[in-house]
Amino acid sequence: MRLLSQCCAGNASATLDAMVPQQEICKVYDRIAPLYDIWGRLAESRARMRAIELAGIANGSTVLEAAVGTGLAFLEIVQRNRDGRNMGIDLSSGMLEQSRQRLRSLPGASYVLAIGTALDLAQGTGTIDILINNYMFDLLADEDLDRALREFKRVLKPGGKLALVNMTKSETLSGGFYELLYRLSPRLMGGCRGVRLTEKLKQQGFSVEVREYHQQMLFPSEVILARA
């Protein structure tokens, strides 16, 4: 009963830390990769598309998507940036394989998909116009949140855009459902719990231009546009 009331209390409960360590994330996502799109479309599609809209990708840009997953956003990015540079990285080879299959629908398009971690990016300092990152911070340990944000700030050009989507703390009673699920089985939730990133972004020197709350299938997301 206490658990239920904590979870449904929305912002009254403290943010939970990640319960699935990074070393296990690969295995978890390799396993769910073939089915991920069902969830990705049902509960996350509106927030993901809103982030792409906010990013305002101009053709000819240098764009990095960190934690590219199965490529649901990456396909949209590459379509908008046919003459630019498009890079997608992810920890999970299973998720990357789904991305590769999806991008086959754009023969001749220019992009690179590679294994990599957002905690230690291979890209040079000040080289990226737009960085897109969806539903990754919600599965990082608290101690890694600042580290990833510092890496994003490092690789972005000054004034470069960061479009971010996370599972967030529910702002409605019904949105607390998924936090309850996370408490019962973190793996069932793919290791994701609600986070709020605007304050952390400001601490790392980003200026936050937009922060929106979206809820789809009761699943609470925040969409953020910030500048380096």
Q: Is 72 in the site for ligand SAM (CB under 6 A)?
A: yes
Residue 21 to residue 10: CA distance in whole angstroms = 25
Residues between 149 and 178 that touch ligand SAM (CB under 6 A): none
**SS (HEC) of 35-89:** HHHHHHHHCCHHHHHHHHHHHCCCCCCEEEEECCCCCHHHHHHHHHCCCCEEEEE
* Cross-strand partners of 164: 133, 224
Give the relative orientation of helices 72-80 and 93-103 as an angle to the nearest 10 degrees: 40
Please report how close the Cβ of residue 91 comes to ligand SAM at its closest, in angstroms. Answer: 4
Nearer of residues 8 and 25 to ligand SAM, judged by Cβ: 25
Binding of ligand SAM by 224 (CB under 6 A)? no
Per CB under 6 A, 119 contacts ligand SAM: yes
Using CB under 6 A, count the residues that bind ligand SAM: 25
Under the binding rule (CB under 6 A), the answer on residue 78 touching ligand SAM is: no
Positions in the binding site for ligand SAM (CB under 6 A): 25, 29, 40, 44, 48, 66-67, 69-70, 72-73, 89-92, 95, 117-119, 134-136, 139, 190, 192
